[in-house]
Chain A
Amino acid sequence: MAIIEIRSLTKTFGKIRAVRGIDLTIDEGEIFGLLGPNGAGKTTTIGMLCTIIRPTSGTGIIAGFDIVRHPTQVRQNVGIVFQDPTLDTILTGRENLQLHARLYGIPARERNRWIEEMLELVDLRERADDLTKTYSGGMRRRLELARGLLHRPAVLFLDEPTLGLDPQTRARTWEYIRKMAQKEKTTVVLTTHYMEEAQLMCDRIGIIDAGKIIALDTPGNMIDRMGGDIVAINAPNPPLDQIRSLPYVSEIKTAGETTEITMKSAHLHLAGLLALIRDVRSVEMRKPTLNDVFIKLTGRDIREDNAENGGSWIETIARYKQRGK
C-alpha cells in the first residue's frame, strides 16, 4: 500500500529550479533512498514532504494527508532527522526526548514509557541523563533517530543520516536505522551520497539529478541493467575494436592506459579476453556499483561533486591512490 504519493512536485527559488517535477510512490514499510549529488534537490524535496518548504506547484500525500492542505497532520505523521545536528545541547538526552514528546502531544501517561523504549533501542539508557553536548557524534545521531521515531510516525525522513561520521560509526548507525525501521514498521525515506551504503540499505532507489528523478528501481535491478561485471585492464594499446566485437562485451571505456570493459559473466570469459591483450600490467574485476549506474546515467561521478564534502575524505584519498597506480 502506498504511504507516500508525490505528484508533479516542483520548487523554484527565484530563478533556480531546485525541483523540476517529481512523481513518486513509496510503499508502506519500504526503505527508500534518494540518491544524488549535492544540489540535486534531495534536501528540498524532503523539506517539502516535511512541510518545512512550501512547494511551488504539485503536491504530495503522506499517510493520507496532503502536504499543502493539511501540514499539521502531515507533521504529526512524519519524523525527521536533519542533515545538521539539531539537538538541544544544554538539555540531557532524556530531556530532549521529553521536549519532543510534549511538542508531538504524546499523552503524559505514555511519555516516559515510550522514551525508555527508544533509549533502549538506541543503547543510550546509561547516558540518558548526561547533557547531549558531552555525546559523541554517533551518539548524537542515535538520539536524533530515537527522537525522530518517538511519536511513532508512519514515515521517517533521514537527510544524509551518516554525513560527517567516521566509517565505523556510519556502519553502526545504519544498523540502528534498519533495526528501528523493522521494529516500528516505519517507512524510511533517506538521502545519501554514499552509494555503497544506499546499495546495502535501500529496498528501492530513486536517482535524482538536477531536480528530476532519472532512475527508479531496486539497487539490484539497476546494477543488473549495467550489463554484467566490470573488468579494468591496465595495458598499452589494447585492440579496442577486437574487444568490442566480442559477444559478451557490452561497453568499453578508456581512461589513460586503463580500459574498463563491461562484460557478462566475467569469470567465464576473462581468460579469452586477456588472450587478446599484450603487456597486461594489472587486471581488476568488480561488480558494478550504484556509482557506475550514476556515471552511466549522467556522465559524472557522484563523488566528484562531493569532493569538498568532508565526510568522504577517506574515499577521496583511496580513489586518488587507485588512480595513481
Chain B
Amino acid sequence: MRSFNVQRELLGVTAVWWREFKVFWREKSRIVSSIVQPLMWLFLFGSGIGASLSVGSVNYRDYIYPGVLTMSVIFGSVFFGLYIIWDRKLDVLKAVLVAPVTRISIFLGKVLGGCTDVLLQVAILFAFSFLFPSVNPWGIPPALLILFITSVALVSLGLALGSLLESLEGFQVISAFLIFPLFFLSGALFPVDERLPSWLHGLVKINPLSYTVDGVRGALLGINLYPFYVDLAILTIFAAFMLFLGSILFSRMK
C-alpha cells in the first residue's frame, strides 16, 4: 500500500507552485506580452469599433472589457497547461515526477501555479480599469472570483491535453479548434440575445465560458443574462469536472 502523508503532499504542492511562480517572475517578456495583447484588443480594436457602436448605454470598448479579461484568462490558462509538453520534451518534469509525492499533488501545484500567473496578469489589467468609465470598481472582487474559478478549469484542461499530447504539433490544432472557438463563442465580443442566429446562440449557451463573461460583465457593468450565483455554480461544476479529468490524465501520463 502507498502510504499517504498529508503534510508531505502539501509541501509537494507548494514546491511546484513556488517553482511556477519563480519561472513566471523570471520571464518578464512573457508577462509584458500577456498584458500588451489584451490592451491592444481594448484600445485598438475596442476603440475603433466603439467609435461608431455602443451596446445599450455602454460604449463598445467598455462593453468588451469583461470579454477581454476572459480572453486573457482563456489563453493564459490553456497555454500554461499545454506548456508541460515542452517541459516533458526538455525532461524538466522527470526529476519532479520521481519525487516521493503523488502525481495529484504535482498536478495541483501546477494548477495553482497557473492560476497565480493568470490572476496576476488579470490584476494588472484591472489596474487599467479607471480608463473605462462604465466599470464599477466594487465589482472587481466578484469578477476576480469568477475568473479564478475559470482559470482553475482551464489550466486543468491545458494540463489534461498536455498529458495526452506527445509533441508540440498538436499545439496549433488545439489553438485553432479549441481555444479560438471557446473565446469567440463566449459572447466576449458581442451581446448574446435573440438577434444572434439560433445555431450561434445555441453554441454560446453550451460554452461554459459564456458564464464567465456573463458573471464578469454583470459584476463590472451590471449587464447580465443570469444571476451571479448561477454563473458561479455552473463554473464551479465545470472546474470540478476539469480538475478531476486533469488529475486522472496527469497521473497516467508517461
Chain A residues proximal to chain B, CB less than 8 Å: 50-52, 69-73, 75-76, 80, 82, 84-91, 95, 98-100, 102-105, 147
Q: Are B12 and A73 in contact (CB under 8 A)?
A: no
Query: With A and B bound together, what is the CA distance between A95 and B102 in angstroms?
Result: 21
Q: Are B100 and A99 in contact (CB under 8 A)?
A: no
Q: How large is the interface on B (under 10, 10 to 19, 20 to 34, 35 or more residues)?
A: 20 to 34
Query: With A and B bound together, what is the CA distance between A89 and B92 in angstroms?
Result: 8
Number of A-B contacts (CB under 8 A): 75
- Contact A82:B11 (CB < 8 A) given known A69-B1, A90-B26: no
Tell me if A's interface is mostly helix, strand, loop or mixed: loop
Q: Report the minimal beta-carbon distance from B180 to chain A, rounded to whole angstroms.
A: 28
A51 (CB) vs chain B CBs: closest residue = B98
Q: Are B99 and A75 in contact (CB under 8 A)?
A: yes
Q: Report the minimal beta-carbon distance from A255 to chain B, rounded to whole angstroms.
A: 41
Known: A88-B19, A91-B22. 20 other contacts (CB 8 A): A52-B97, A69-B1, A71-B2, A72-B2, A72-B3, A75-B100, A80-B95, A80-B98, A86-B95, A88-B92, A89-B90, A90-B23, A95-B22, A98-B18, A99-B15, A99-B96, A102-B14, A103-B100, A104-B100, A105-B12
- Contact A91:B23 (CB < 8 A) given known A72-B3, A86-B91: yes
Q: Are B14 and A147 in contact (CB under 8 A)?
A: no
Can you list 18 A-B contacts with CB-CB less than 8 angstroms, sorted by A residue number?
A52-B97, A70-B1, A70-B3, A72-B102, A73-B100, A82-B94, A86-B91, A88-B19, A88-B23, A91-B19, A91-B23, A95-B22, A99-B18, A103-B11, A103-B16, A105-B8, A105-B12, A105-B100
Fill in one digit per residue for B99-136: 1 if any A CB lies within 8 Å of its CB, else 0: 11110000000000000000000000000000000000
Query: With A and B bound together, what is the CA distance between A85 and B90 in angstroms?
Result: 8
Task: Tell whether B193 is near chain A: CB-to-CB under 8 Å.
Answer: no
Fill in one digit per residue for B1-43: 1 if any A CB lies within 8 Å of its CB, else 0: 1110000100110111011001100110000000000000000
Specify which chain A residues have a CB less than 8 angstroms from the CB of B91 in the assembled complex: 82, 84-86
Query: With A and B bound together, what is the CA distance between A84 and B91 in angstroms?
Result: 8
Residue in A70, A72, A90, A102 whose beta carbon sits within 8 Å of that of B11 in the complex: A102
Specify which chain B residues have a CB less than 8 angstroms from the CB of A98 in the assembled complex: 18
Q: Report the minimal beta-carbon distance from B24 to chain A, rounded to whole angstroms.
A: 10
Fill in one digit per residue for B72-106: 1 if any A CB lies within 8 Å of its CB, else 0: 00000000000000000011101111111110000
Specify which chain B residues have a CB less than 8 angstroms from the CB of A88 in the assembled complex: 19, 23, 92, 95
Specify which chain A residues have a CB less than 8 angstroms from the CB of B23 in the assembled complex: 88, 90-91
Q: Report the minimal beta-carbon distance from B70 to chain A, rounded to whole angstroms.
A: 28
Specify which chain B residues have a CB less than 8 angstroms from the CB of A100 in the assembled complex: 95, 99
Specify which chain A residues have a CB less than 8 angstroms from the CB of B101 in the assembled complex: 103
Query: With A and B bound together, what is the CA distance between A104 and B18 in angstroms?
Result: 15
Query: With A and B bound together, what is the CA distance between A86 and B99 in angstroms?
Result: 13
Query: With A and B bound together, what is the CA distance between A276 and B170 in angstroms?
Result: 71
Q: Are A82 and B95 in contact (CB under 8 A)?
A: yes
Q: Are B11 and A105 in contact (CB under 8 A)?
A: yes
Q: Are B98 and A50 in contact (CB under 8 A)?
A: yes
Q: Are A104 and B99 in contact (CB under 8 A)?
A: yes
Query: With A and B bound together, what is the CA distance between A84 and B14 in angstroms?
Result: 26
Q: Report the minimal beta-carbon distance from B208 to chain A, rounded to whole angstroms.
A: 32
Q: Report the minimal beta-carbon distance from A98 to chain B, rounded to whole angstroms.
A: 8
Query: With A and B bound together, what is the CA distance between A75 and B3 in angstroms?
Result: 12
Residue in A75, A90, A95, A102 whose beta carbon sits within 8 Å of that of B98 in the complex: A75
Specify which chain A residues have a CB less than 8 angstroms from the CB of B8 in the assembled complex: 105
- Contact A99:B19 (CB < 8 A) given known A80-B98, A82-B91, A84-B91: yes
Q: Report the minimal beta-carbon distance from B17 to chain A, rounded to whole angstroms.
A: 10
Q: Report the minimal beta-carbon distance from A95 to chain B, rounded to whole angstroms.
A: 6
For A87, A98, A102, which residue has the most chain B Cβ atoms within 10 angstroms?
A102
Specify which chain A residues have a CB less than 8 angstroms from the CB of B96 in the assembled complex: 99, 103
Q: Report the minimal beta-carbon distance from A55 to chain B, rounded to whole angstroms.
A: 16
B94 (CB) vs chain A CBs: closest residue = A86
Q: Report the minimal beta-carbon distance from B191 to chain A, rounded to whole angstroms.
A: 42
Residue in A70, A73, A90, A102 whose beta carbon sits within 8 Å of that of B18 in the complex: A102
B106 (CB) vs chain A CBs: closest residue = A103
Q: Which 3 A-B pairs have the closest CB atoms?
A: A102-B15, A103-B99, A75-B100
Q: Are A103 and B15 in contact (CB under 8 A)?
A: yes
Specify which chain A residues have a CB less than 8 angstroms from the CB of B1 in the assembled complex: 69-70
Specify which chain A residues have a CB less than 8 angstroms from the CB of B15 in the assembled complex: 99, 102-103
Residue in B12, B27, B95, B100 whose beta carbon sits within 8 Å of that of A147 in the complex: B95
Query: With A and B bound together, what is the CA distance between A69 and B2 in angstroms?
Result: 7
For B16, B94, B99, B101, which residue has the most chain A Cβ atoms within 10 angstroms?
B99
Q: Report the minimal beta-carbon distance from A76 to chain B, rounded to whole angstroms.
A: 4
Q: Report the minimal beta-carbon distance from B117 to chain A, rounded to whole angstroms.
A: 13
Specify which chain A residues have a CB less than 8 angstroms from the CB of B95 in the assembled complex: 80, 82, 86-88, 100, 147
For A75, A90, A100, which residue has the most chain B Cβ atoms within 10 angstroms?
A90
Specify which chain B residues have a CB less than 8 angstroms from the CB of A75 in the assembled complex: 98-100
Specify which chain B residues have a CB less than 8 angstroms from the CB of A52 in the assembled complex: 97-98
Query: With A and B bound together, what is the CA distance between A71 and B103 in angstroms?
Result: 13
Q: Report the minimal beta-carbon distance from A137 to chain B, rounded to whole angstroms.
A: 15
Q: Report the minimal beta-carbon distance from A52 to chain B, rounded to whole angstroms.
A: 6
B87 (CB) vs chain A CBs: closest residue = A88
